[in-house]
Amino acid sequence: MEVLALVYRNLRARPIRSILTLLGIVVATASMVLFLSFGEGLRKALGAELSKVGPAILVISEGSEAFGAGYPELPPELLGHIKALAPELGITRAIPTAVFARGGFDPASSFIFQGLPAGVTAQDLYPNVRLAAGRLDPGQQGAVVGGGIAERNNLGLGKTLRLSPQVSLEVVGVLERSGGLTDSFIYVPITAIQTILNTQNYSSILVSIGPDQSAERVARALEARLEGIKAQTTGDVMRFAERAVRISDLVRFGISLVALIVGGLLVANTVMMSVYERIREFGLMRALGAKRRFIFGLVLLEALLLGVVGGLLGLGLGQAASGLVNWYTLREVGLALSAVTFRLASFALLVAVVLGLLAGFLPARTASRIRVVEALGRV
């Protein structure tokens, strides 16, 4: 009781200084939480997006990266080759798609057109998709728009979409909002995309497999049998993304480390000052029979308390900031970009505790080495 009272009342005895120091830790922790929450958000969003994709394997051209939403590079014959392998590899369906993105800096003015072959609907690709109005099949001259993009750009049934001077499509279906990237997609006939880009190629071929097939094994077999392609499973995409996210985590942690170090120095400085002001008090405690360890612990506890309380408040602030970011990105692109996961929260608190301990070590050592005679000689 007395120990905590001592620590707490000493911090409260100099309220402004303690609060300023605390703020340093709060801001440092909050910025770290926010920075790292983007990585966690990406992981979560990616996992959620991938789980919405029906087909197990994505075939793209060998040179392209991960998501394969680039310029169509797969030759049309490839579809025939894959279909020829279907019985042997247990492939149930192969759907070619072509993607055309018309972007702006503002996410609201960016459009992603996904071209589907005749008879294929968005539901074949993303089984969770639900129709809000009109019909699912874009047909020859139609377009089916995602819920998010329909709302943002006021694309109701019957509206005309001009993809190029030659190609105009009429909105024939609107999907329900589902939260996620697909809310921002527009599904159109693949021929429309191919006309605009003046090619017969595909961007990707989505391959579905039978329930007793392993996606991993089929993907590797496809790569071995066919030239110039990459066959990705959701696992591959996750692993690739995880590597990228981890590197960016490190970079972002490095940046927040600056704030953390400044926060730590702030605590060290505050606690050191309070040690110098209390030399007499520590000398008195030693005279009364306190061991060095006791004084050391007392001072360390003070720094630790600043670290823990600052860490908790910083976590709260970081979470609030993350919520604000998500509110914005959800509205704009339908994705929660930031997530404060349990492991991120634990990590942040751990960092705050370690920070407190490191910051308290030197002042604690100084305090525990105060000599009684010198301390008592002071007034």
Chain residues that interact with another protein, rule: CB under 8 A: 1-3, 5-6, 9-10, 13, 280-281, 284-294, 371-373, 376, 379
3-state SS string for 336-373: CCCCCCHHHHHHHHHHHHHHHHHHHHHHHHHHHCCCHH
Cβ of residue 9: shortest distance to another protein, in angstroms? 4
Cβ of residue 293: shortest distance to another protein, in angstroms? 8
Closer residue to another protein in complex, CB, 108/284? 284
Residue type, 240: F
Closer residue to another protein in complex, CB, 10/319? 10
Closer residue to another protein in complex, CB, 5/16? 5
DSSP assignments along 145-156, one per residue: E-HHHHHHHT--
DSSP letter (8 states) at residue 163: S
- Answer for the pair 184, 110: CB distance below 8 angstroms, yes or no: yes
What is the C-alpha to C-alpha distance for residues 327 and 325, in angstroms, rounded to an integer? 5
- Answer for the pair 310, 24: CB distance below 8 angstroms, yes or no: yes
The whole-angstrom distance between residue 229's C-alpha and the CA centroid of its chain comes to: 29
Closer residue to another protein in complex, CB, 280/365? 280
Residue of 47, 45, 59 lying closest to 215 (CA atoms): 59
What is the C-alpha to C-alpha distance for residues 25 and 311, in angstroms, rounded to an integer? 6
Cβ of residue 356: shortest distance to another protein, in angstroms? 20
Cβ of residue 367: shortest distance to another protein, in angstroms? 14
What is the C-alpha to C-alpha distance for residues 113 and 291, in angstroms, rounded to an integer? 73
Closer residue to another protein in complex, CB, 183/302? 302
Closer residue to another protein in complex, CB, 159/280? 280
- Answer for the pair 359, 271: CB distance below 8 angstroms, yes or no: yes
Cβ of residue 288: shortest distance to another protein, in angstroms? 6
Cβ of residue 362: shortest distance to another protein, in angstroms? 20
Closer residue to another protein in complex, CB, 10/61? 10
Cβ of residue 266: shortest distance to another protein, in angstroms? 22
**Helix, strand, or coil here: 14?**
coil
